[in-house]
Structure 1
Amino acid sequence: MSKKVLIPIATGSEEMEAVTIIDMMVRAGYEVVVASADFSGQLTMTGSRGITLNANCRLVDVADDEFDAVILPGGVGGSEIFRDSTVLIEILRQQMYEGKLVAAICAAPALVLAHHKLYPDALMTCHPSFQDHITEQNWRVKRVTLDVTHNLITSQGPGTALEFAMEIIIRLSGKAHAWTVAEPMVTIPTLQYHKMGEA
């Protein structure tokens, strides 16, 4: 069964993270909704490094849709917009209450999830420069952290975006499907997934 994922973006979102996540979800065969969280509702925006990013709808237009995963790219400016978006926070709360997957990378775990205390007991990581936003008992140094109990995946930054996206695919569709995505890309993790072998 096909999966449907929501990827919000905003002015100041980290381009490498956003594009890697979007690309990997498309490669996995998911229905990918890239939604603008900008308060202006604009669909074209500038990322954290000055690169243009495009959404295919406004966040408010898909607020009542159901998603198998909601995935937040980082970038300080984008994460601050996410933090202040009542629509996005309500979507995240609903996702959490239904036990569905939420994933966040870079500044987003700290500035969005931790700020709103959405997962006060969850293990998580984020960009090391925002480590102080996460309680010591919850903080993990790992590049990608999966909290199975809370169905939450977090990661540290642009350099971990591919691993982060692959972990999301594994969580949604199993290791065997992740292998079919990873193998043609000739990624280092493909060897790991191939050896694991199980779904």
Structure 2
Amino acid sequence: MSNLSGRGVGMDVVKSSIAALGGRVSITSEPNIGTTFSISLPLTLAVLDGMVVRVANQTLVIPLNAIVETATLTSENIKPIGHNTELLHIRGDFVPLYDLGIQLGFRHHKDRAENAIVILTTQEDGSRAALIVDAIMEQRQVVIKGLGKSYDRIPGVAAATILGDGRIALILDPTGLTNTPISKSPDQPLSLAG
């Protein structure tokens, strides 16, 4: 028995488990430098629990782990401050309010339905933000598809997915969306479909 005995048994279990999922483990080692372990998983395993929403006839996905609660938006709980800023008064607290249609360039004026829906999200730093959507479609798991090098990094957009009916939906990053307002020209709304 030596100080190194039994060290490969755990890796064999990891390799077998990953192979059963259709993935692979590769190990490269260089004397006096170190060892590198690489794990490759099929893209279909990159799934996300999300809330599928509709905004200005666009389908979007908000990660479920960022959502605190949903509520119906009424004129009584909107508090304007400044020229273009609004707060949502909810449960005794004031939360910044963002219209997703305006933030993403799908619409350029406040054209809200009477009983629009607000989704309260939590940010990475623990703060909260409220996102206005037109409708909540469903809650579902979606397969994450990276946007690749064809698109520049878009603040507020993490990736995309293809829904069961073949539609493409953007997967939002609520923190990036509310920290960096997106301004698009009226002629070029943000979309992957066109």
Alignment TM-score, normalising by the size of structure 2: 0.26
Alignment TM-score, normalising by the size of structure 1: 0.25
